[in-house]
Structure 1
Amino acid sequence: MRAPKDVLRARRWIIDDIVHDFDVEDVWVLPMEGGPDDFEAVIDLVRSIDFPGSAPLPVRLLWDIRDLLGRIFGLGRISASADDAGDWPPVPGTEERSLLGRVPEELRNTATSPLVADKPFRPLYLTDTEFADEISNRTMYGVKHLAWAHQGGGRYRAYMTVYVKPRGAAGKAYMAFIKPFRYAIIYPALLRHLDRFWTERRVAH
Protein backbone atom coordinates (compact mmCIF):
# COMPACT_ATOMS: atom_id res chain seq x y z
CA MET A 1 0.00 0.00 0.00
CA ARG A 2 1.02 3.61 -0.44
CA ALA A 3 2.49 5.43 2.53
CA PRO A 4 2.81 9.13 3.41
CA LYS A 5 5.84 10.67 1.73
CA ASP A 6 7.38 11.55 5.11
CA VAL A 7 6.93 8.09 6.64
CA LEU A 8 10.69 7.44 6.78
CA ARG A 9 11.71 10.86 8.07
CA ALA A 10 12.13 9.58 11.63
CA ARG A 11 15.71 8.66 10.75
CA ARG A 12 18.24 9.92 8.26
CA TRP A 13 19.12 7.76 5.27
CA ILE A 14 22.14 7.86 2.98
CA ILE A 15 19.84 8.43 0.02
CA ASP A 16 18.77 11.81 1.44
CA ASP A 17 22.06 13.44 0.43
CA ILE A 18 22.14 11.75 -2.98
CA VAL A 19 18.67 12.81 -4.17
CA HIS A 20 18.43 16.17 -2.39
CA ASP A 21 17.31 17.83 -5.66
CA PHE A 22 14.79 15.11 -6.63
CA ASP A 23 11.06 14.93 -5.87
CA VAL A 24 9.51 12.06 -3.94
CA GLU A 25 7.06 10.50 -6.39
CA ASP A 26 5.80 7.61 -4.25
CA VAL A 27 6.48 5.73 -1.04
CA TRP A 28 5.20 2.15 -0.83
CA VAL A 29 5.02 -0.23 2.11
CA LEU A 30 6.19 -3.57 0.73
CA PRO A 31 4.70 -6.88 1.95
CA MET A 32 8.03 -8.05 3.38
CA GLU A 33 8.87 -8.18 7.07
CA GLY A 34 11.61 -9.91 8.98
CA GLY A 35 14.58 -9.58 11.27
CA PRO A 36 17.68 -7.39 10.96
CA ASP A 37 19.50 -9.96 8.81
CA ASP A 38 16.72 -10.48 6.24
CA PHE A 39 17.37 -7.46 4.04
CA GLU A 40 19.68 -9.46 1.78
CA ALA A 41 16.76 -11.78 1.02
CA VAL A 42 14.59 -8.74 0.22
CA ILE A 43 17.15 -7.45 -2.26
CA ASP A 44 17.62 -10.85 -3.88
CA LEU A 45 13.87 -11.17 -4.36
CA VAL A 46 13.42 -7.70 -5.84
CA ARG A 47 16.37 -8.20 -8.17
CA SER A 48 15.40 -11.63 -9.39
CA ILE A 49 11.65 -11.26 -9.82
CA ASP A 50 10.44 -11.55 -13.40
CA PHE A 51 8.34 -8.42 -13.60
CA PRO A 52 6.39 -7.70 -15.71
CA GLY A 53 7.17 -10.93 -17.61
CA SER A 54 5.13 -13.07 -15.24
CA ALA A 55 2.59 -10.36 -14.34
CA PRO A 56 -1.07 -10.42 -15.43
CA LEU A 57 -1.87 -9.61 -19.04
CA PRO A 58 -3.01 -5.98 -18.44
CA VAL A 59 0.35 -5.17 -16.87
CA ARG A 60 2.30 -6.73 -19.73
CA LEU A 61 0.15 -4.88 -22.26
CA LEU A 62 0.81 -1.54 -20.57
CA TRP A 63 4.54 -2.30 -20.56
CA ASP A 64 4.48 -3.17 -24.26
CA ILE A 65 2.48 -0.04 -25.10
CA ARG A 66 5.00 2.13 -23.24
CA ASP A 67 7.87 0.53 -25.15
CA LEU A 68 6.02 1.04 -28.43
CA LEU A 69 5.47 4.71 -27.62
CA GLY A 70 9.13 4.94 -26.68
CA ARG A 71 10.19 3.73 -30.11
CA ILE A 72 7.72 5.98 -31.92
CA PHE A 73 8.38 9.19 -29.99
CA GLY A 74 11.98 8.62 -28.95
CA LEU A 75 11.16 8.30 -25.25
CA GLY A 76 13.42 5.32 -24.67
CA ARG A 77 12.35 1.81 -23.71
CA ILE A 78 11.54 1.04 -20.08
CA SER A 79 12.37 -2.64 -20.54
CA ALA A 80 15.81 -2.15 -22.12
CA SER A 81 18.71 -3.17 -19.91
CA ALA A 82 20.94 -0.41 -18.59
CA ASP A 83 23.89 -1.97 -20.44
CA ASP A 84 22.03 -1.70 -23.76
CA ALA A 85 20.84 1.87 -23.22
CA GLY A 86 24.07 3.51 -24.33
CA ASP A 87 24.89 6.95 -22.94
CA TRP A 88 22.10 8.06 -20.66
CA PRO A 89 20.77 11.61 -20.88
CA PRO A 90 22.16 13.58 -17.92
CA VAL A 91 20.34 14.25 -14.70
CA PRO A 92 18.02 17.22 -15.47
CA GLY A 93 19.59 20.50 -14.41
CA THR A 94 23.09 18.99 -14.21
CA GLU A 95 25.79 17.50 -16.42
CA GLU A 96 25.92 14.28 -14.38
CA ARG A 97 25.42 11.08 -16.36
CA SER A 98 24.98 9.08 -13.17
CA LEU A 99 24.37 9.71 -9.49
CA LEU A 100 27.20 7.35 -8.59
CA GLY A 101 29.48 10.35 -8.09
CA ARG A 102 27.23 11.46 -5.22
CA VAL A 103 27.49 8.11 -3.44
CA PRO A 104 30.04 8.00 -0.59
CA GLU A 105 33.21 6.48 -1.99
CA GLU A 106 33.24 3.59 0.45
CA LEU A 107 29.79 2.49 -0.78
CA ARG A 108 30.51 2.46 -4.50
CA ASN A 109 30.64 -1.01 -6.05
CA THR A 110 28.69 -2.45 -3.13
CA ALA A 111 25.59 -3.25 -5.21
CA THR A 112 27.03 -5.07 -8.21
CA SER A 113 25.33 -8.36 -9.00
CA PRO A 114 24.74 -10.58 -12.06
CA LEU A 115 21.05 -10.54 -11.14
CA VAL A 116 20.72 -6.97 -12.41
CA ALA A 117 22.58 -7.48 -15.69
CA ASP A 118 19.39 -7.51 -17.78
CA LYS A 119 17.49 -4.84 -15.82
CA PRO A 120 16.82 -1.23 -16.90
CA PHE A 121 18.32 0.03 -13.62
CA ARG A 122 21.93 0.70 -12.67
CA PRO A 123 22.82 -0.07 -9.03
CA LEU A 124 24.14 2.74 -6.84
CA TYR A 125 24.86 1.26 -3.40
CA LEU A 126 23.88 -1.36 -0.85
CA THR A 127 24.08 -1.37 2.96
CA ASP A 128 22.48 -3.48 5.69
CA THR A 129 19.33 -1.35 5.52
CA GLU A 130 19.40 0.47 2.15
CA PHE A 131 19.59 -0.30 -1.55
CA ALA A 132 19.34 2.22 -4.38
CA ASP A 133 19.48 2.08 -8.15
CA GLU A 134 18.89 4.60 -10.93
CA ILE A 135 17.17 4.75 -14.29
CA SER A 136 17.14 7.33 -17.06
CA ASN A 137 15.06 7.84 -20.18
CA ARG A 138 13.81 10.71 -22.33
CA THR A 139 11.00 11.63 -19.94
CA MET A 140 12.68 11.51 -16.52
CA TYR A 141 15.61 10.49 -14.32
CA GLY A 142 14.56 8.22 -11.50
CA VAL A 143 15.90 6.50 -8.40
CA LYS A 144 14.37 3.47 -6.66
CA HIS A 145 15.29 3.21 -2.97
CA LEU A 146 14.57 0.22 -0.75
CA ALA A 147 14.73 0.77 3.01
CA TRP A 148 14.72 -1.89 5.73
CA ALA A 149 13.09 0.17 8.48
CA HIS A 150 13.04 -0.90 12.12
CA GLN A 151 9.49 -1.23 13.43
CA GLY A 152 10.44 -1.96 17.03
CA GLY A 153 10.94 -5.25 18.85
CA GLY A 154 13.66 -6.34 16.44
CA ARG A 155 11.22 -6.44 13.48
CA TYR A 156 11.88 -4.69 10.17
CA ARG A 157 9.71 -3.79 7.19
CA ALA A 158 10.61 -2.99 3.60
CA TYR A 159 9.69 0.34 2.04
CA MET A 160 10.20 1.45 -1.54
CA THR A 161 10.58 5.14 -2.37
CA VAL A 162 10.62 6.41 -5.95
CA TYR A 163 12.44 9.69 -6.61
CA VAL A 164 12.12 11.47 -9.95
CA LYS A 165 13.30 14.44 -11.94
CA PRO A 166 11.06 14.95 -14.99
CA ARG A 167 12.63 16.27 -18.18
CA GLY A 168 10.84 19.54 -18.77
CA ALA A 169 7.14 20.08 -19.38
CA ALA A 170 6.86 16.99 -21.58
CA GLY A 171 8.32 14.82 -18.84
CA LYS A 172 5.95 16.25 -16.24
CA ALA A 173 2.98 15.71 -18.54
CA TYR A 174 4.01 12.12 -19.21
CA MET A 175 4.45 11.36 -15.50
CA ALA A 176 1.01 12.82 -14.78
CA PHE A 177 -0.52 10.80 -17.62
CA ILE A 178 0.81 7.44 -16.43
CA LYS A 179 0.17 8.00 -12.70
CA PRO A 180 -3.37 6.54 -12.69
CA PHE A 181 -2.12 3.43 -14.51
CA ARG A 182 0.73 2.98 -12.05
CA TYR A 183 -1.57 3.32 -9.04
CA ALA A 184 -4.40 1.19 -10.40
CA ILE A 185 -2.51 -1.56 -12.25
CA ILE A 186 1.30 -1.58 -12.12
CA TYR A 187 2.05 -1.20 -8.41
CA PRO A 188 -0.79 -3.40 -7.13
CA ALA A 189 0.43 -6.18 -9.43
CA LEU A 190 4.02 -5.73 -8.27
CA LEU A 191 3.00 -5.82 -4.60
CA ARG A 192 1.00 -9.00 -5.13
CA HIS A 193 4.04 -10.55 -6.82
CA LEU A 194 6.30 -9.62 -3.92
CA ASP A 195 3.78 -10.83 -1.36
CA ARG A 196 3.44 -14.21 -3.05
CA PHE A 197 7.17 -14.83 -3.45
CA TRP A 198 8.02 -13.58 0.05
CA THR A 199 5.35 -15.85 1.52
CA GLU A 200 6.73 -18.81 -0.46
CA ARG A 201 10.22 -18.05 0.81
CA ARG A 202 9.00 -17.85 4.41
CA VAL A 203 7.22 -21.19 4.12
CA ALA A 204 10.29 -22.80 2.54
CA HIS A 205 12.46 -21.64 5.44
Structure 2
Amino acid sequence: MRLPNTAYTSHPWRIHEFTSDFSVEDVWSFRTPGAGPGDFPAMLAAMRSAGGFAKQTRPVKFLFALRWRLGALFRWDQPSAGVGARVASLRDRLPADLRAAPRGPDSESLPLKAVYELDTECARELANQTVHTVMHLGWARGANGDHELRMAVLVRPNGRFGRLYLAAIAPFRHLIVYPALTRQWERAWRDR
Protein backbone atom coordinates (compact mmCIF):
# COMPACT_ATOMS: atom_id res chain seq x y z
CA MET A 1 0.00 0.00 0.00
CA ARG A 2 1.29 3.43 -0.89
CA LEU A 3 1.92 5.74 2.05
CA PRO A 4 2.40 9.50 2.33
CA ASN A 5 6.04 10.64 2.36
CA THR A 6 5.64 11.62 6.01
CA ALA A 7 5.42 7.91 6.93
CA TYR A 8 9.11 7.86 6.01
CA THR A 9 10.27 11.39 6.85
CA SER A 10 8.71 11.46 10.34
CA HIS A 11 10.41 8.24 11.46
CA PRO A 12 13.89 8.57 13.05
CA TRP A 13 15.70 6.37 10.51
CA ARG A 14 19.50 6.53 10.52
CA ILE A 15 19.50 7.14 6.76
CA HIS A 16 18.21 10.69 7.31
CA GLU A 17 21.67 11.59 8.65
CA PHE A 18 23.32 11.43 5.22
CA THR A 19 20.69 11.68 2.46
CA SER A 20 19.51 15.29 2.77
CA ASP A 21 20.34 15.90 -0.91
CA PHE A 22 17.95 13.10 -2.03
CA SER A 23 14.19 13.52 -2.41
CA VAL A 24 11.57 10.97 -1.45
CA GLU A 25 10.05 9.46 -4.59
CA ASP A 26 7.85 6.69 -3.17
CA VAL A 27 6.87 5.20 0.20
CA TRP A 28 5.12 1.82 0.43
CA SER A 29 4.14 -0.53 3.25
CA PHE A 30 3.97 -4.31 3.14
CA ARG A 31 1.67 -6.26 5.47
CA THR A 32 3.42 -8.65 7.83
CA PRO A 33 0.67 -10.07 10.10
CA GLY A 34 1.88 -11.04 13.54
CA ALA A 35 5.27 -9.40 13.13
CA GLY A 36 7.01 -8.09 16.20
CA PRO A 37 9.73 -5.50 16.76
CA GLY A 38 12.59 -7.99 16.30
CA ASP A 39 11.38 -9.60 13.07
CA PHE A 40 13.11 -7.37 10.51
CA PRO A 41 15.99 -9.86 9.93
CA ALA A 42 13.39 -12.63 9.42
CA MET A 43 11.60 -10.46 6.87
CA LEU A 44 14.82 -9.78 4.96
CA ALA A 45 15.62 -13.51 4.95
CA ALA A 46 12.11 -14.30 3.66
CA MET A 47 12.46 -11.70 0.90
CA ARG A 48 15.83 -13.11 -0.16
CA SER A 49 14.47 -16.65 -0.29
CA ALA A 50 11.49 -15.45 -2.37
CA GLY A 51 13.80 -15.08 -5.36
CA GLY A 52 13.90 -11.36 -6.12
CA PHE A 53 13.16 -10.12 -9.61
CA ALA A 54 13.73 -13.55 -11.14
CA LYS A 55 10.48 -14.71 -9.49
CA GLN A 56 8.42 -11.69 -10.54
CA THR A 57 5.43 -11.66 -12.86
CA ARG A 58 5.86 -11.55 -16.62
CA PRO A 59 4.84 -7.89 -16.91
CA VAL A 60 7.47 -6.89 -14.34
CA LYS A 61 10.14 -9.03 -16.01
CA PHE A 62 9.19 -7.48 -19.36
CA LEU A 63 9.47 -3.92 -18.01
CA PHE A 64 12.88 -4.60 -16.49
CA ALA A 65 14.13 -6.34 -19.63
CA LEU A 66 12.93 -3.37 -21.68
CA ARG A 67 14.60 -0.94 -19.29
CA TRP A 68 17.93 -2.81 -19.43
CA ARG A 69 17.74 -2.97 -23.24
CA LEU A 70 17.13 0.77 -23.48
CA GLY A 71 19.92 1.33 -20.97
CA ALA A 72 22.32 -0.68 -23.13
CA LEU A 73 21.19 1.06 -26.32
CA PHE A 74 21.52 4.58 -24.89
CA ARG A 75 24.49 3.71 -22.64
CA TRP A 76 22.68 4.76 -19.45
CA ASP A 77 24.17 1.94 -17.40
CA GLN A 78 27.86 2.11 -18.29
CA PRO A 79 30.23 1.58 -15.35
CA SER A 80 31.36 5.19 -15.77
CA ALA A 81 27.82 6.30 -14.83
CA GLY A 82 27.54 4.15 -11.71
CA VAL A 83 28.28 4.28 -8.02
CA GLY A 84 31.95 5.00 -7.41
CA ALA A 85 32.33 6.65 -10.83
CA ARG A 86 29.70 9.32 -11.64
CA VAL A 87 28.59 9.48 -8.01
CA ALA A 88 30.26 8.54 -4.76
CA SER A 89 28.72 5.66 -2.84
CA LEU A 90 26.62 6.48 0.19
CA ARG A 91 29.04 4.23 2.08
CA ASP A 92 31.51 7.12 1.83
CA ARG A 93 29.09 9.30 3.85
CA LEU A 94 28.30 6.83 6.61
CA PRO A 95 29.08 7.67 10.23
CA ALA A 96 31.75 5.39 11.68
CA ASP A 97 29.29 3.11 13.50
CA LEU A 98 27.29 2.48 10.31
CA ARG A 99 30.45 1.96 8.28
CA ALA A 100 31.38 -0.80 10.73
CA ALA A 101 27.91 -2.37 10.52
CA PRO A 102 27.23 -5.28 8.17
CA ARG A 103 26.28 -4.32 4.63
CA GLY A 104 24.11 -7.30 3.83
CA PRO A 105 24.69 -9.55 0.85
CA ASP A 106 24.91 -8.33 -2.73
CA SER A 107 23.42 -10.36 -5.54
CA GLU A 108 24.29 -10.53 -9.23
CA SER A 109 20.55 -10.63 -10.00
CA LEU A 110 19.89 -7.38 -8.11
CA PRO A 111 21.51 -4.21 -9.47
CA LEU A 112 21.13 -2.39 -6.14
CA LYS A 113 24.24 -2.68 -3.98
CA ALA A 114 24.18 -2.90 -0.19
CA VAL A 115 25.05 0.22 1.81
CA TYR A 116 24.28 -1.00 5.35
CA GLU A 117 21.99 -3.39 7.22
CA LEU A 118 20.84 -2.95 10.82
CA ASP A 119 18.24 -4.69 13.00
CA THR A 120 15.47 -2.31 11.88
CA GLU A 121 16.58 -0.80 8.58
CA CYS A 122 18.81 -1.28 5.57
CA ALA A 123 19.71 0.60 2.41
CA ARG A 124 20.79 -0.30 -1.13
CA GLU A 125 21.84 2.04 -3.93
CA LEU A 126 22.13 2.26 -7.70
CA ALA A 127 23.40 4.97 -10.01
CA ASN A 128 23.32 5.36 -13.78
CA GLN A 129 22.99 8.21 -16.29
CA THR A 130 19.41 8.93 -15.16
CA VAL A 131 19.53 8.91 -11.37
CA HIS A 132 21.27 8.00 -8.15
CA THR A 133 18.66 6.08 -6.17
CA VAL A 134 18.43 4.48 -2.76
CA MET A 135 15.99 1.80 -1.67
CA HIS A 136 15.51 2.09 2.08
CA LEU A 137 13.75 -0.73 3.91
CA GLY A 138 12.63 -0.13 7.47
CA TRP A 139 10.68 -1.89 10.18
CA ALA A 140 7.96 0.19 11.83
CA ARG A 141 4.81 -0.27 13.86
CA GLY A 142 1.78 -0.30 11.59
CA ALA A 143 -1.70 1.04 12.22
CA ASN A 144 -2.92 -2.32 13.59
CA GLY A 145 -0.09 -2.61 16.13
CA ASP A 146 1.92 -5.23 14.22
CA HIS A 147 5.24 -4.27 12.76
CA GLU A 148 5.42 -3.92 8.98
CA LEU A 149 8.00 -3.49 6.27
CA ARG A 150 8.25 -0.03 4.76
CA MET A 151 10.10 0.81 1.59
CA ALA A 152 11.14 4.33 0.67
CA VAL A 153 12.71 5.13 -2.68
CA LEU A 154 15.01 8.14 -2.52
CA VAL A 155 16.29 9.79 -5.67
CA ARG A 156 18.76 12.34 -6.89
CA PRO A 157 17.97 12.78 -10.60
CA ASN A 158 20.80 13.43 -13.01
CA GLY A 159 19.66 16.76 -14.47
CA ARG A 160 16.54 17.46 -16.49
CA PHE A 161 16.75 14.13 -18.31
CA GLY A 162 16.74 12.29 -14.97
CA ARG A 163 13.64 14.19 -13.83
CA LEU A 164 11.86 13.39 -17.12
CA TYR A 165 12.88 9.74 -16.85
CA LEU A 166 11.46 9.46 -13.31
CA ALA A 167 8.19 11.06 -14.43
CA ALA A 168 7.94 8.71 -17.41
CA ILE A 169 8.42 5.52 -15.37
CA ALA A 170 6.21 6.55 -12.41
CA PRO A 171 2.99 5.00 -13.79
CA PHE A 172 4.77 1.70 -14.44
CA ARG A 173 6.23 1.66 -10.91
CA HIS A 174 2.90 2.49 -9.26
CA LEU A 175 0.59 0.33 -11.37
CA ILE A 176 2.73 -2.73 -12.16
CA VAL A 177 6.09 -3.00 -10.36
CA TYR A 178 5.23 -2.02 -6.77
CA PRO A 179 1.95 -3.97 -6.61
CA ALA A 180 3.78 -7.09 -7.87
CA LEU A 181 6.59 -6.51 -5.39
CA THR A 182 4.00 -6.11 -2.63
CA ARG A 183 2.39 -9.44 -3.47
CA GLN A 184 5.80 -11.17 -3.60
CA TRP A 185 7.11 -9.73 -0.31
CA GLU A 186 3.86 -10.22 1.58
CA ARG A 187 3.70 -13.84 0.35
CA ALA A 188 7.34 -14.30 1.41
CA TRP A 189 6.40 -13.23 4.94
CA ARG A 190 3.40 -15.58 5.07
CA ASP A 191 5.41 -18.52 3.64
CA ARG A 192 8.58 -18.07 5.71
For residue 51 of structure 1, report the CA deviation from its aligned partner. 3.0
Q: Deviations over 1:10-65 (max 9, x none)?
A: 44221111111110000001122511221101222334442322212111111111
The one-letter code sitting in structure 2 at the alignment partner of 1:155 is D
Is the 2:56–2:180 Cα contact (8 Å) retained in structure 1?
Answer: yes
Counterpart Cα distance in 2 of 1:47 and 1:138:
28
Gaps of 5+ in 2: none
Q: Deviations over 1:143-171 (max 9, x none)?
A: 11111113489732211000000101111
The one-letter code sitting in structure 2 at the alignment partner of 1:14 is R
Counterpart Cα distance in 1 of 2:114 and 2:163:
25
Secondary structure of the residue that 1:170 maps to in structure 2? helix
Residue aligning to 1:192: 183
The yes-or-no answer on 1:157 pairing with 2:181 is no
Secondary structure of the residue that 2:53 maps to in structure 1? coil
Match of 1:117 among 101, 107, 122: 107
Counterpart Cα distance in 2 of 1:11 and 1:75:
33
Structure 1 residues 20 and 47, CA, compared in 2 at 3 Å: closer, same or farther? Answer: farther
Q: Deviations over 1:99-157 (max 9, x none)?
A: 1122111122523344x232212211222211111111110000111111134897322
Residue aligning to 1:72: 73
Where do residues 1-40 of structure 1 align in structure 2 (5 Å cutoff)? 1-33=1-33, 34-40=35-41
Counterpart Cα distance in 1 of 2:166 and 2:180:
19
TM-score (norm 1): 0.83
Structure 1 residues 153 and 172, CA, compared in 2 at 3 Å: closer, same or farther? Answer: closer
TM-score (norm 2): 0.88
Aligned residues: 190
- Which is worse superposed, 180-189 or 151-160? 151-160
Gaps of 5+ in 1: 78-84
Structure 1 residues 113 and 90, CA, compared in 2 at 3 Å: closer, same or farther? Answer: closer
- Which is worse superposed, 149-158 or 25-34? 149-158
Secondary structure of the residue that 2:148 maps to in structure 1? strand
For residue 90 of structure 1, report the CA deviation from its aligned partner. 6.2
The yes-or-no answer on 1:58 pairing with 2:85 is no
How high is the sequence identity, in percent, across the aligned residues? 36
Counterpart Cα distance in 1 of 2:143 and 2:66:
43
- Which is worse superposed, 8-17 or 148-157? 148-157
For residue 86 of structure 1, report the CA deviation from its aligned partner. 6.7
Residue aligning to 2:128: 137
Root-mean-square deviation over aligned CA pairs: 2.3
Secondary structure of the residue that 2:101 maps to in structure 1? coil
The yes-or-no answer on 1:88 pairing with 2:75 is no
The one-letter code sitting in structure 2 at the alignment partner of 1:88 is G
Structure 1 residues 199 and 165, CA, compared in 2 at 3 Å: closer, same or farther? Answer: same
Structure 1 residues 47 and 19, CA, compared in 2 at 3 Å: closer, same or farther? Answer: farther
